[in-house]
Amino acid sequence: MSQTQAKYSINFVCSGNNALSNLSNVSIANALRNIGSLFQRFGIGGYSSIVEVNAVGTSATGLITLSSFVANDTVTVAGLVLTGKASPTTSVQFKIGASDTATAANLAACINANTTLIPLVSAKASNATVLVTSIATGTIGNFLTLAISAHGSVSASTFGT
């Protein structure tokens, strides 16, 4: 599992005095000190404010490479098994195309349309590969699984950042 650095941004709305105007590009330690000062002002009734702290990191990714992929071969993304079919009939099946490039495009479309996967990942096909990207940023995406039954490969058994 790899570690990532996170960038923090502070978004705020203040009524009256703008006590957090200097937080746009400060270190997290300084930002927390400034927020502490803000809470002191709340305690004495100085003014009201809404403060939001958001962590911004890198999304984990996984790469699926198809090589002569055929019907009934499977790809597992985030624990969900997707099956290649000549004529798909369910949301966990995707069409085997005339080439691996066409099949990769169909697999990416299947991933992007699947209601179980939509909150977890997005996919983009290029040639015979599909890049799957975690929706959540940071190391949490490293826990998503990735596998292929045959006729291809995956970058690793779990995503990486």
Model confidence pLDDT, tens digit, residues 50-98: 544 455 678 899 999 999 999 999 999 999 999 999 999 999 999 999 9
Q: Mean pLDDT highest for which of 18-22, 29-33, 149-153?
A: 149-153
Give per-residue pLDDT as tens, 126-142.
999 999 999 988 788 88
Same domain, 50 and 34: yes
Same domain, 45 and 112: no
Residue 106 has pLDDT above 70, yes or no: yes
| 81 occurs within a structural domain | yes
- Between these two residues, 14 and 79, which has the higher pLDDT value? 79
Same domain, 97 and 120: yes
Q: How many domains does the chain have?
A: 2
Same domain, 142 and 94: yes
80-85 vs 93-95, strand pairing mode: parallel
Same domain, 101 and 127: yes
| 64 occurs within a structural domain | yes
| 1 occurs within a structural domain | no
Instruction: Write down the pTM of the prediction.
Output: 0.67
Domain that includes residue 143, residue range: 59-154
Residue 115 Cα distances to 68, 89, 137, 147, angstroms: 28, 15, 20, 19
